[in-house]
Amino acid sequence: MKALILLVFAALAGWGASAQTARRQAAFNLEKNQVAIQGYDPVAYFSGKPLPGKSAHTVVFDGVTYYFANPQNKAVFLASPARYEPQYGGWCAYAMGATGEKVSVDPENYKILDGKLYLFYKSFFNNTLKSWNKDEARLKQKADASWRNVFP
């Protein structure tokens, strides 16, 4: 009987983890192969230069795949994954704050704020990082609230 109870709890725990993984994959800004940040290395941003990652240095964290430029960055990420994941699931921080929408980003248009990675949309005529910087405190507060609606 105890074995059956343990089996049921294990199945429920696995289902909960699978449901969480599916929710993250649906909410985050991912490529078709579940890769985040268009394959850029999330740790590299913190050294001041975004770098494309390599599939040879891959980590899957709660269903989201990250590529790293080198084994050292991969190890840093593994020690503290939540610290390096982009805010708002990798969607444009400005759009999340201004309208609550999920807007794609330019992975080289970013800001580190309070030790967190924020990504922004950029095109020839529009750089949302500049707009974010003009009203950062208000936009961040609204973006935080919007993200909680997208990914509670």
As a whole number of angstroms, the distance between CA 19 and CA 133 comes to 36
Identify the segments of the chain with pLDDT beneath 50.
3-16
Over residues 63-99, the pLDDT tens digits come to 999 999 999 999 999 999 999 999 999 999 999 999 9
As a whole number of angstroms, the distance between CA 68 and CA 16 comes to 28
pLDDT at 5: 42
pLDDT at 19: 84
As a whole number of angstroms, the distance between CA 56 and CA 7 comes to 36
Output the pTM of the full model. Answer: 0.88
Q: Structure tokens of 117?
A: 């990675």
